[in-house]
Amino acid sequence: MTAPRPPAPAAPRVELLCVGSELLAGQVNTHVGAIGRRLLAAGLRLSRESTLPDDEAALGLAIKGALARCDALIVCGGLGPTFDDVTREAAASALGLRLVYRPRIFDRIRARFARLRLRTAAENKRQAFVLAGARVLANKTGTAPGQLLSIPPQPPGSPSALRRTLVLLPGPYHELSPMFEGQVLPFLKKTYARSTRTEELLLHLTGIPESLADEKLRRLVGQARPGLSFTILSSPGQVDFHAYVSAPTAARAAASLRKVRAAALAAVGAHVLWEGERPVEKVLADELGRRRLTLAVAESCTGGMVGAALTNVPGSSAFFRGSVTPYANDLKASLLGVSPATIARHGSVSVPCCREMAEGVRRLAGASVGLAVTGIAGPAGGTPAKPVGTVFVGIAGPGSRFKAHKLRLGGGRSGVRGRATVRALQLVLQAL
**What is each CA distance from 298 to 358, 383, 397, 413, in whole angstroms?**
7, 24, 14, 19
The pTM for the full model equals: 0.76
Cα separation of 89 and 72, whole Å?
19
For 197-275, CATH number?
Answer: 3.30.70.600
Q: Are 371 and 405 in contact (CB under 8 A)?
A: no
Strands, DSSP E only, in 42-181?
A: 46-52, 72-76, 99-101, 129-131, 135-137, 146-151, 164-169
* Range(s) within the chain of domains with CATH label 3.40.980.10: 14-192
Q: 268: number of CA atoms within 13 Å, CB side?
A: 34
Of 283, 20, 14, nearest to 164 (Cα)?
14
Helix axes 87-95, 56-69, angle to 10 degrees: 50
* Range(s) within the chain of domains with CATH label 3.90.950.20: 280-431
Superfamily for 14-192? MoaB/Mog-like domain (3.40.980.10)
* Range(s) within the chain of domains with CATH label 3.30.70.600: 197-275
For 280-431, CATH number?
Answer: 3.90.950.20
Cα separation of 93 and 101, whole Å?
16
Edge to edge, the sheet with strand 295-299 lists: 320-324, 295-299, 369-375, 390-396, 402-408
pLDDT in 10s for each residue of the chain, 432 residues: 444 444 445 678 999 999 999 888 888 788 898 899 889 888 898 999 999 999 999 999 999 999 999 999 999 999 999 999 999 999 999 999 999 999 999 999 999 999 988 899 989 999 999 999 999 999 999 999 999 999 987 666 555 456 799 999 999 999 999 999 999 999 999 999 888 888 999 999 988 889 999 999 999 999 998 889 898 988 777 899 999 999 999 899 999 999 999 999 999 999 999 999 899 999 999 999 999 999 999 999 999 999 999 999 999 999 999 999 999 999 999 999 999 999 999 999 999 999 999 999 999 999 999 999 999 999 999 999 999 999 999 999 987 799 999 999 988 899 899 999 999 999 999 998
